[in-house]
Amino acid sequence: MSDNALMTMNLDQLPSVQLGSDEAFTELAKGGDFLKYIKLYTKGKPIDTGKIRPGHWGIPQNDERIDDLGESIDVIPLARRPKALDMADKSAIIVSYDEKSPTFKAIAAKSNEKESKCQHGISFLVLERSTGQFLEVFFGAKSHRPEAKNVFAYMRLTQADIDRKEAAGEKVEGLAPHGPLPVTLKIRLAEAKGSGFSWHVPVVVKCSVPFARVPSNEVVVKEISKFLTPKSGGVEKAPEDSRKSRAR
């Protein structure tokens, strides 16, 4: 058959071209047990080399590629955990998920130092709309951490959660149990007064558009379980390459 004949064929009525579910193929296509992450880019080499625009959210894939998601993304927050990250030694990046541990406290203290390459804050497991992927969003920078609390209201809320809040003296009037709700992460430009230095910070706003497609409960539960069960007792040492796809 000639190439011209093939081009004129109507292939809309082909039979099924896959054996298995879409979720099965997504799982099999993974390179390993790694959780990719979304990052808000504002300055640095990726901006200078044109891999992504400043003030955009992106998913780093490797040294040469960042998937640019734009200025605004819709996500469903599924789980949260404390996180401290020390990138001072790029050959042995240290991650701690235990806020009571000496490692976490040391990283948190060091993060207050200028150019320390340390961060601490809250890490969220989210489902991102445009990619359909489970990803991490880390509110670890000093100017990002205050915005993390605005994500809490969109996470799953049970009656037990409400009862616990009430027992702690928090206001619970108007609260009702609900599942995780979609939220939009936008950006705004922050500026240090008198310095002329500016950078981008995240902004959390309500998302009114429901997700049309979400994975099965079984898949979501599996991802949440992985996220909330970090390896090595909550402290990880990872080589620089792990930043491309961070270990859970």
> How many whole angstroms from its chain centre is CA 75?
9
Q: What is the pLDDT of residue 93?
A: 87
CA torsion through residues 201, 206, 212, 213, sign: positive
147, 201 in Cβ contact below 8 A? yes
pLDDT in tens, 5-36: 544 556 666 676 677 666 665 555 555 567 89
151, 180 in Cβ contact below 8 A? no
> Domain residue spans in the chain?
33-247
Q: What is the pLDDT of residue 222?
A: 95
Mean pLDDT (the chain) is: 85
Q: What is the pLDDT of residue 65?
A: 92
Q: What is the pLDDT of residue 10?
A: 60
Q: What is the pLDDT of residue 84?
A: 95
> How many whole angstroms from its chain centre is CA 78?
10
DSSP state of 80: E
95, 42 in Cβ contact below 8 A? no
> How many whole angstroms from its chain centre is CA 14?
38
Closest CA to 219 of 27, 33, 18, 25: 27
Q: What is the pLDDT of residue 114?
A: 85
First to last CA, the chain: 50
What are the counts of helices (DSSP H) followed by strands (DSSP E) for the chain? 7, 12
Give residue for tokens 């579910």: 21
* Positions of the chain with pLDDT under 50: 6-7, 233, 238-247
**CA-to-CA separations, 242 to 91, 113, 158, in angstroms, rounded:** 10, 24, 35
Q: What is the pLDDT of residue 21?
A: 67
Q: Element (H or E) spanning 151, and its range?
A: none
Q: Element (H or E) spanning 164, and its range?
A: helix 159-167
Q: What is the pLDDT of residue 115?
A: 85
